[in-house]
Amino acid sequence: MAGSATSPAIALTIAGSDSSGGAGIQADLKTFTALGVYGASAITAITAQNTQGVQDVLVLPQSIIAAQMASVASDLRVGAIKTGMLADRATVETVVGGLGAFPNVPVVVDPVMIATSGDVLLQPDAIEAVRSRLIPLADVVTPNIKEAARLLDTAPATSLDEMEAQGRALLALGPKAVLVKGGHAEGEDATDILVFGAGSLRFSKPRIATRNTHGTGCTLAAAIAAGLAKEHTLSAAVRDAKDYVWGAIEAARNLEIGSGQGPVNHLYVI
């Protein structure tokens, strides 16, 4: 006798492809799988990329980006959406328009601007579109301290209090919550600060000495989306995502993949 049908939680990632597999669409789908969520995707750009850097970028036609989103919306019951690399202003506008087909679905916006290698992944003229058009639609925005500063046209935060203040300033742009990530800060602990209307929460883990951190931002945002797809509260989704990423970094300490900044071990929990 066949077993009864099940309906797994589904998350959609809207992001660029990383040919080396450590970030972007590939990292997101690995994360969804590791956390027990079915992953769908809409690819915005194709990068020629490895652990040493980004060699080339091809932004896909806006028509196919829109068509991917519409196709998923017409058939799958998406429980959460994560946006990543959007490359340029036209893509931001296309994604904003496509999100209209997913009413009441939580949106995690990772405002990807620069790769771990330092390569630019978001054109300067697109930053204003992210700020004014995409961020107001987000349930949570997940900038690192450099991205938060760029969105606010100010200097990067140098303390936890400054990180929280910048999160509060970003909250004024219209999202429901902001998670300012402290992975690029100094100190023994890496602390992320979740800012929302009623207050804030801090999530800390001991900093791990390793060069294998490629894709951590993508992975964290995808893990949050996975939690939201499973109908967890935002605070629980952030807490669990922080734990998952820390574990993925720890599990990658002895990995030798490529000759640059290697990826985290997304599948360590399987």
* Contact indicator for 241, 227 with CB cutoff of 8 Å: yes
With b for 16 or more beta-carbon neighbours within 10 A and e for fewer, the 186-223 pattern comes to eeeebbbbbbbeeebeebbbebeeeebbbbbbbbbbbb
Would you say residue 104 has pLDDT above 70?
Answer: yes
Cα→Cα distances 179→16, 149, 160, 171, 195, Å = 21, 13, 12, 10, 6
Q: Looking at per-residue confidence, does 259 or 97 come out higher?
A: 97
User: Using one digit for the tens of pLDDT, what is the confidence trace for 219-245?
Assistant: 999 999 999 999 999 999 999 999 999
Cα→Cα distances 111→67, 87, 114, 158, 180, Å = 22, 10, 9, 20, 11
For the segment 25-49, the average pLDDT, to the nearest whole number, is 97
pTM of the entire structure? 0.95
Going across the sheet that includes 140-141, the strands are 53-59, 38-50, 10-18, 80-83, 107-109, 140-141, 177-180, 189-196, 199-206
Superfamily, domain 10-251: Ribokinase (3.40.1190.20)
For the segment 173-186, the average pLDDT, to the nearest whole number, is 89
Would you say residue 95 has pLDDT above 60?
Answer: yes
**Domain ranges in the chain?**
10-251
For the segment 12-34, the average pLDDT, to the nearest whole number, is 97
Q: What pLDDT does 254 receive?
A: 87
Return the structure tokens found at 246. 């820390």
Quick one: which of 113, 243, 224, 134 has its CA closest to 179?
A: 224
For the segment 23-32, the average pLDDT, to the nearest whole number, is 97
Phi, psi of 77 (to 5 degrees): -90, 85
- The least confident of 52-56, 99-103, 115-119, 133-137 is 115-119
Return the structure tokens found at 243. 């734990």
Q: What pLDDT does 14 receive?
A: 98
User: Using one digit for the tens of pLDDT, what is the confidence trace for 127-158?
Assistant: 999 999 999 999 999 999 999 999 999 999 99
Tell me the Ramachandran region of residue 203: left when phi exceeds 0, alpha when psi lies from -120 to 50, beta otherwise. beta
Alpha carbons within 13 angstroms on the beta-carbon side of residue 31 total: 39
Q: What pLDDT does 184 receive?
A: 67
Q: What pLDDT does 122 receive?
A: 80
Q: Where are the alpha helices (DSSP H) in 185-233?
A: 216-229
Q: What pLDDT does 125 receive?
A: 84
Q: Report the catalytic residues.
A: 181, 213, 215-218
Q: What pLDDT does 174 receive?
A: 98
Would you say residue 1 has pLDDT above 60?
Answer: no
User: Using one digit for the tens of pLDDT, what is the confidence trace for 52-80?
Assistant: 999 999 999 999 999 999 999 999 999 99
Q: What pLDDT does 117 receive?
A: 65
Mean pLDDT of the chain: 94
